[in-house]
Structure 1
Amino acid sequence: MKTDKKDMINRLKRAEGQLRGIQKMIDEEQECIDIVTQLSAVRSSINSLMGLAIAKKIEECFENPSENLEEQEERLQEAIKLIIKK
């Protein structure tokens, strides 16, 4: 799990760097299309990260199931809501 956490943090740092680059592009009044292209890249990166987080949640539900069936169902429904929200 530490590798997953490290990977997620690295992805966030990369997105943070991209956002700072976009701020600079706006400040320098670069072309709108270039700014939108970079924003799209950040959005894609964040969506990917969300997918990884949701996958981890689902994985945990199956690797460490609750003995209480109601609780297990609630955990799975929570993961499904995250997928739908995405």
Structure 2
Amino acid sequence: MTKNRDSFENHLKFTHDISSPLMVASGNIEALLSEKAKPNPSGDLERLKKVKTALDKITQLLKEHRAELKAMGEMDKSEP
């Protein structure tokens, strides 16, 4: 494997490895939010919503980055 290909594979692995725990965290936050739908004077509900929004943003960024890396990999494969 070339140095660029190794780097590409490492980036692809990283995005996959980080996406998985983010999805677990996001799913758990979503479950907690649905359980805590009633008003909460301590502000826990608002904090959970902020965490969920942040996790969603990170997840979206990673998905976009992973798609770009895959496209780069496909271009590498098509070059002689």
TM-score, normalised on structure 1?
Answer: 0.58
**Structure 1: stretches of 5+ with no match in the other structure:** 68-86
**Structure 2: stretches of 5+ with no match in the other structure:** 1-11
Which residue of the partner structure matches residue 55 of structure 2?
Answer: 45
Greater shift, 41-50 or 1-10, is seen at 1-10
Which residue of the partner structure matches residue 23 of structure 2?
Answer: 12
Which residue of the partner structure matches residue 21 of structure 1?
Answer: 32
Greater relative contact order (CA < 8 Å, ≥ 6 in sequence) = 2
- For the residues of structure 2 that align with 1:15 and 1:63, how far apart are their CA atoms? 28
Greater shift, 15-24 or 29-38, is seen at 29-38
Q: Deviations over 1:29-65 (max 9, x none)?
A: 3128431221111011011011011011111222221
Count of aligned residue pairs for this structure pair = 66
Once superposed, which parts of structure 1, at least 4 consecutive aligned residues long, lie more than 4 Å away? none
RMSD, aligned CA:
2.5
Q: What percent identity do the matched residue pairs reach?
A: 5
> What is the one-letter code of the residue matched to 2:29?
Q
